[in-house]
A and B are shown apart, each in its own frame.
Chain A
Amino acid sequence: MARRKRPKLAVWKFASCDGCQLSVLDLEDELLDIAGALDIAYFKEATSVEKPGPFDLSLVEGSVTTSHDAERIREVRKQSKALVTIGACATAGGIQALRNFKDVKEFVSVVYASPEYIQTLATSTAIADHVPVDFELRGCPVNKEQLLEVISAFLHGRKPNVASHSVCVECKLRGNVCVMVTGTPCLGPITHAGCGALCPSYQRGCYGCYGPMEAPNTTSLVRAFRQAGSSTVDVVRVLRTFNANAPAFRKESEAQEKGEEESQ
């Protein structure tokens, strides 16, 4: 086969911990193949080499928390044929979206000696809240095999095989005993698959790292948690982690807090 011109890949960082970019580097056995198939034009976590856009594929990690980043993501979008967000920050705002439930000015005044130097938005938001996104890969961090699948699918112009059903399906494929039914609260029934049911495989409840699944009935599952003895604080905490700002989780955690206030 005649060698086609290699598509240009860019990997961008916004407000994030770099863990999802590291998942790219963690593809140790495939890295040379990836570098062979794609022209790595911009990937600061891996190389100081910078090539100009436009890019065929942009992987975007992180959320938008500053007005500067809100501008920058529009520029990235302009320069990218396909834009794929990777991880909970980029798809839901990340753990830093906990600020969305509080007054960020108050945080700044408590944390920084000179708050006047800090310029930040009141919220942490997903990339898709700012620009159109072609595909969102979930997880905190993303699963490297799924990341490889998304890159392969892009290279061959096909749809990635990334299921959006519950974690429960992955548990059953592995033959796990359901931890929820045997007594441990588990977010699996409302959480997006992708991790391979990592925590339930070690008899732990799911923490919801991959955010809400395709049709999450958060209210029903939380009702089951409450019936099994979880307090308002328990359920609000479990819903407010890496995907706190994902609408299905945010709505339910706010409803729980409101219910608690009204009962007092």
Chain B
Amino acid sequence: MSGHERAILSVEGLGSLLQAIRQEGYQLVGPTVRDGAIVHAEISGIGDLPAGWTEEQEAGTYRLRRRDDGALFGYSLGPQSWKQLFFVPRMRLFQARRKDGTFVVDAEAPKPPRLALIGARSCDLHAIEVQDRTFLKGQFVDPDYAARREGVFVVAVNCGQAGGTCFCVSMKTGPRVTQWFDLALTELLDGAHRFVVEVGSERGAEVLAKLALQPADEGDCRTADEVVERTASSMGRKFETEGITELLYRNLEHPQWDKGAERCTSCANCTLVCPTCFCASVEDVTDLSGNTAERWRRWDSCFTLDHSYVHGGSVRSATRSRYRQWLVHKVASWIDQFGTSGCVGCGRCITWCPVGIDLTEEVAAIRATDGKKEP
């Protein structure tokens, strides 16, 4: 197997593939059912996958549902991307101790496990690439992110269904997996439950070579393509991106921002579920004796007042300012800053907003009344 040839993998074959990846020294992280959702967690094999589960998603709602088949990847997206594996929610950056009238600093030495992502979707792979621009490709490299990100093995999945809040087609980030993968699966549920597997790297080919697989015939390849085409044509949302930067820049005083702010709870959920948001806060703590101090980093959000706090107060004290800052940055000024949109169309900010604010609707409303100033 080499290049972009495709092979057929049975369900048992997928189990063997996962074990082969483990034997290469990778820790498997994949989808599994927990607390009413499909989350990403460490898995030991095929038995942990969400067999026969799917979900319904709409703005502000997510419900796990049973499927009438045994599909292993028969859902669209869970609440988490892969962000927390590389840009960890909370970490100690260093510790300092008083010693002989001065102090010594103990730096953290990250030794993260080598991870294999099982079931990564195209939008989320694009999101990893977007975060790489922040943590790896800017002026400074984040050493912890780099250590965790290094050598990650990716078993991607072409989406077999679109979620109610998905819009990767609009963002040109899916649903077909086209890059940043080692192996990509398409799950076929017509007739025998099987997968078409595509090789995306040398490393992927090497692992796959350990299994004796039959090449996929023309019929299976066509069926696999149809699965992805069907998904692409059933997106839950559409998002018009034509001229979006100029559109938002010239509508910074549009009354729609007030309507959004009237609903927004500033809870920060949208930014925390977003696979590309990268903000963190840094806190110094001391113990009672004052002999040791620690510096911690944790996820933060542009929706908190502390995020824009400078001497004298917060720059963005109104919810309207914070909401506008987030949305304009995400889909417009991100392009100026990083050369790509900060939005990959995963729809998590819509589903996981407790009051169901939908950024596609908000921007569409501005577009429909471009230039409006008064309420």
Contacts and interface: CB of A to CB of B under 8 A. Distances in A.
B128 to A, nearest CB: 18
Q: Give the interface residue-count category, chain A.
A: 35 or more
A96 to B, nearest CB: 28
A119 to B, nearest CB: 41
B301 A169 contact: yes
A220 B269 contact: no
Interface stretch (B33-41, B118-126, B179-187): B33-41
B306 to A, nearest CB: 7
A189 B263 CA distance: 12
Interface in A121-140: none
A149 B37 contact: no
Q: Give the interface residue-count category, chain B.
A: 35 or more
B273 interface: yes
A36 to B, nearest CB: 8
B288 A151 contact: yes
B38 to A, nearest CB: 9
Contacts, number: 133
Contacts of B35: 176-177, 182, 203
Nearest to B264: A217
Interface in A46-74: none
Given A37-B289, A176-B35, A177-B79, A221 B62 contact: no
B306 A178 contact: no
Interface stretch (B6-14, B220-228, B347-355, B366-374): B347-355
Given A173-B90, A176-B35, A180-B354, A217 B319 contact: yes
A168 B267 contact: yes
B71 to A, nearest CB: 21
A117 B36 CA distance: 55
Contact of B286 (A152, A216, A220): A152
A229 interface: no
Interface of A: 30, 33-34, 37, 148-149, 151-153, 155-156, 158, 161, 163-166, 168-169, 172-178, 180-183, 186, 188-190, 203, 213-217, 220-221, 223-224
